[in-house]
Chains A and B, each alone.
Chain A
Amino acid sequence: MAVAVARDTALAARLQPVTVPDGNGWLGQARREALARLRAMGLPVKRDEYWRYTDPASLNAPEAGAASVFDAGDEPPAFGAIDRLKIVFVDGVFDAAASDDLTLAGVEIERLALAGTADIHWAHGLYGVLEARGQSPVARPFAALNTACATDGALIRVTGKAARPIALVYVHASETSDAILHHCIKLEAGADLTILESGPAAARFTKVMEVEVGPGARFHHIRVQGRDHERRAATHIFARLAAHALFKSFTLTANGRLTRNEAVMELAGPDARAHIAGAAVGDGDFHHDDTVFVTHAAERCESRQVFKKVLKNGAVGVFQGKILVKPGAQKTDGYQISQSLLLDEDSQFLAKPELEIYADDVKCSHGSTSGAIDDTALFYLQSRGIPRATAQALLVLAFLAEAIGEVEDEAIAEDIRGRLEGWLARHGTRGAA
């Protein structure tokens, strides 16, 4: 009882500074339902099974902790060389002047802020819907909070093959900004879209992306979570895949005080493929958590989870990944790997791989390791004249290669590798930053 009261008090305090939008349209209704979900589950506490390794305190706090606005200096903006349609959000608010014209053949793009007033909207069938499905069996309070409170975001419906990627660019302008964004992306049968995400967004960022991938549709997602050292973020991707659909997501995270990236994938139609990958590099006050839940609900689906982390100076990495194979999901092919490279003895990697299988003709594997740079390999490279720092960087990039390999577009993969090389050059691989 005392616990329940404490949870209610914490939630009331958390919601106090937030304006929960009202309104009677489809959006208002979805928000009210989300708020009810949130009240039923409460905010997370460290005792909760999926919050044991990540302290939710700074995400629960009523106000966002201050984060100085970070200047990336000489580093070019992410995906700068890629021809893309930019949608810019500054501290969680759409910036029309900084964004491109939102017209793209085969794609409808709309602001969440403007869509709520429509009587009928395609997003009605998606906004908060996948999030609600993803609350069981594991509660995701910040996703419900997001659905209840988000006032901005992009609604993207794709009917054909998008001629170029859509880039969601997040700008952090205020030191105490507490941004909430909610995107819905719907790919109709056979559609094809690449979404790029980049930028620090806010001092505290809560984001939900719901993605419905229709039959035979293809969705690629590449995200660069920036070098801003002090920000905190709790992000969620909820995806549901129809028959023969493809979903591929890759995230590069460099620094950031706290990052919790949750992904909830549902392979709902036969022969669907979901790949989710991440490369995280952290130096010092860095806590990075990948929490992934993949449900195989149909036959002959394939899922891959590939997460790699490079940690130094007391950085902490967390991986909680689950594959659930439902009854009848025969011929499932599930793969999961989580690995960390600890560059010193102060850093930590905590991993919880889980498999739960209710079908008898499946192939599922998982592996988790943590280790240091291989001294023998390092000596071998040095003995060929490669300076120690270069040799270490080569080995770190080699360690991350399997995750980066999930990025299909070679120009984008090159952008990611260049960013990692820059990070390694700035932070080195051993000793102080």
Chain B
Amino acid sequence: MLEIKNLHVKLEEEDKVILRGVDLRIGPGEVHAIMGPNGSGKSTLSYVLSGRDGYEVTDGSALLDGQELLEMEPEARAAAGLFLAFQYPVEIPGVGNMTFLRTAVNAQRKARGEAELSAGDFLKMVREKAKALKIDAEMLKRPVNVGFSGGEKKRNEILQMAMLEPRMCILDETDSGLDVDAMKLVADGVNALRSADRSFLVITHYQRLLDHIRPDVVHIMAAGQIIRTGGPELALEVETNGYADILNGVG
């Protein structure tokens, strides 16, 4: 599904290297988690994969179903099946949440050569999926993320994911700022989307999210590289001992 090879990335504006050779391979239906201390490059990896400006790839590649992502515009990556759930979902005053969702769904369908959804079909689909995430009609009417609580913003991210039905989902610290109940709701939304042909990359600081979204593989990232890979037990090890032991073990 997703194959990242020897990815090196620096900031465009300054000479700061952030990723120093990341290798990662995620198969269909797999859930991988990346954990790591602050500044290890986890969020950068998610931004580079989704095509945000400001980063320069100096080496390496990232293939989604054999297609090179790094050469595509962000919208083409989305149409190819990539989705990033933002750590800080963006507020867009003046753009209605519904308009945003419909424009996005139809733009992706158009890019894939499919017919646009009719207004009725779209409405039916969005209501169904919103209900499962406990997103009420009022939230759908409001401008994108404006006046949403932290939990509402994250649920809105998962709603977009559910509407767009991507094949490769990246969740960037989706648990940050959530209380236990909100985290459970978001995790349930994610789990409902798990399937044999959809993969997830879950970026998190803490093990607790992984209690709800059970990963197949856990990676530890530090200083721009993946330094250890293991099963779910690796997350528990971090929870118990912190990152220091792992980092020292490598160093």
Q: Which residues of A contact B147 (CB under 8 A)?
A: none
Residues B43-70 near A (CB distance < 8 A): 50-53
B84 CB-CB contact with A under 8 Å = yes
Contact with A along B73-117 (1 / 0, CB 8 A): 111011100011010011011110001100110011001000000
Contact with A along B150-183 (1 / 0, CB 8 A): 0000000000100010000000000000000000
Nearest B-chain residue to A391, judged by Cβ: B75
* Assembly CA distance A398 to B73 (angstroms): 23
Of A58-66, A90-98, A315-323, A382-390, the stretch lying at the interface with chain B is A382-390
Asked if B104 and A399 make an inter-chain contact with CB atoms under 8 angstroms apart, the answer reads no
* Assembly CA distance A40 to B57 (angstroms): 68
Residues A345-404 near B (CB distance < 8 A): 375-377, 379-388, 390-391, 394-395, 397-402
Checking A376, A382, A400 against B74 with a beta-carbon cut-off of 8 angstroms, the contacting residue is A382
* Assembly CA distance A163 to B69 (angstroms): 59
Q: Which residues of A contact B89 (CB under 8 A)?
A: 380
Asked if A380 and B86 make an inter-chain contact with CB atoms under 8 angstroms apart, the answer reads yes
Q: Which residues of B contact A388 (CB under 8 A)?
A: 73, 75
Size bracket of the A interface: 20 to 34
* Assembly CA distance A322 to B121 (angstroms): 49
Checking A375, A384, A398 against B160 with a beta-carbon cut-off of 8 angstroms, the contacting residue is A384
Q: Which residues of A contact B77 (CB under 8 A)?
A: 383
Asked if A385 and B92 make an inter-chain contact with CB atoms under 8 angstroms apart, the answer reads no
- The interface centre, meaning the residue of A383, A391, A400, A402 with most chain B CB atoms within 10 A of its CB, is A383
Asked if A377 and B53 make an inter-chain contact with CB atoms under 8 angstroms apart, the answer reads no
Asked if A394 and B74 make an inter-chain contact with CB atoms under 8 angstroms apart, the answer reads no
Q: A375-B53, A384-B100 are in contact. Are A398 and B92 (CB under 8 A)?
A: yes
Residues A223-240 near B (CB distance < 8 A): none
Q: Which residues of A contact B93 (CB under 8 A)?
A: 398
* Assembly CA distance A391 to B73 (angstroms): 13
How far in angstroms is the closest Cβ of chain B from A278?
A: 17
Asked if A390 and B103 make an inter-chain contact with CB atoms under 8 angstroms apart, the answer reads yes
Asked if B53 and A379 make an inter-chain contact with CB atoms under 8 angstroms apart, the answer reads yes
Q: A390-B107, A394-B103 are in contact. Are A385 and B90 (CB under 8 A)?
A: no
Asked if B52 and A385 make an inter-chain contact with CB atoms under 8 angstroms apart, the answer reads no
Checking B78, B94, B100 against A401 with a beta-carbon cut-off of 8 angstroms, the contacting residue is B94
* Assembly CA distance A191 to B99 (angstroms): 37
- The interface centre, meaning the residue of B51, B84, B103, B108 with most chain A CB atoms within 10 A of its CB, is B103
Q: A382-B78, A386-B75, A394-B103 are in contact. Are A376 and B90 (CB under 8 A)?
A: yes
Q: Which residues of B contact A402 (CB under 8 A)?
A: 94
How far in angstroms is the closest Cβ of chain B from A272?
A: 29
How far in angstroms is the closest Cβ of chain B from A393?
A: 10
Starting from the known contacts A379-B52, A382-B73, 16 additional A-B residue pairs (CB-CB under 8 Å) come to: A377-B90, A377-B92, A380-B86, A383-B52, A383-B77, A384-B107, A384-B160, A385-B164, A386-B75, A386-B103, A386-B104, A386-B107, A394-B95, A395-B95, A397-B94, A398-B94
A-B contact pairs, 8 of them (CB 8 A): A380-B86, A381-B92, A382-B73, A383-B50, A385-B107, A386-B104, A387-B107, A397-B95
| Nearest 3 CB-CB pairings of A with B | A398-B94, A385-B78, A385-B108
